[in-house]
Amino acid sequence: MNKAFIKETDAPEDDDGDGPSLPALPAGTRNYMTPGGYARLRAEFMQLIDVERPKMVETVSWAAKNGDRSENGDYLYGKKRLREIDRRLRFLTKRLDIAEVVDPSVHYGSEQVFFGATVTYANARGEEKTITILGLDEADSLAGEVSWISPIARTLLKARVGDELNLVTPAGVEKIEVVEVRYPAPAGG
């Protein structure tokens, strides 16, 4: 089919699960992230643009010279991988452009919960859980990190040590108490 009749979009309709698909930011919100989270996204962007994409372009160029492209696995895979890389680059560009880097260490020593805090809270049964409130693009629930737009983070934000809060869960409302709030120490101090 002629390329003039093919519409390429930003939509991830042919996404093969190359990476986790992150949810869109709620309308009108900022893309808060820590300096470390921003640096990781920027490093991924630079790795893709400086290393992976040029290698794949070279592979596709080499494969294209080998004749019949319709049966050329290297060519077909290379073109597909290039589309995946370009899609990820567009996503990272958009997220980095709207990023608002917030250094949580400015709250070091505070007992109030803000972005970047590591919070320990207890439920009514006395079970304690510790989470860190981070940006949407850097949170890892398996590591005890939650995004600032998650229900638990929104419940905890602006609370202080000793506050009792109502956490709305699918099972109903659960009473929790803020036990401890920690922030990373300021750099160089």
Query: Would you state the pLDDT for residue 187?
Result: 78
Among 50, 66, 101, which residue terminates a domain?
101
Sign of torsion over alpha carbons 45, 48, 50, 54: negative
**Same domain, yes or no, for 30 and 59?**
yes
Domain assignment of residue 143, yes or no = yes
**Same domain, yes or no, for 75 and 90?**
yes
69-80: burial string, b at 16+ Cβ within 10 Å, e else:
eeebeebeebbe
Q: Residues 158-176: what's their mean pLDDT?
A: 92
Question: Could you list the residue range(s) of the whole structural domain that residue 112 is in?
Answer: 104-182
Sign of torsion over alpha carbons 61, 62, 66, 71: negative
Residue 50's pLDDT band, with cuts at 50, 70 and 90, is: very high
**Same domain, yes or no, for 109 and 173?**
yes
**Same domain, yes or no, for 90 and 129?**
no
How far is CA 84 from each of CA 48, 55, 74, 173, rounded to the nearest angstrom?
A: 11, 14, 15, 42
Number of domains in the chain: 2
Query: Would you state the pLDDT for residue 11?
Result: 41
Q: Residues 156-184: what's their mean pLDDT?
A: 93
pTM of the model: 0.75
Coil vs helix vs strand at 40: helix
Q: Residues 101-106: what's their mean pLDDT?
A: 92
Lowest-confidence segment of 11-25, 40-54, 148-162, 165-179 by average pLDDT: 11-25
Distance separating alpha carbons of residues 79 and 99, to the nearest angstrom:
30
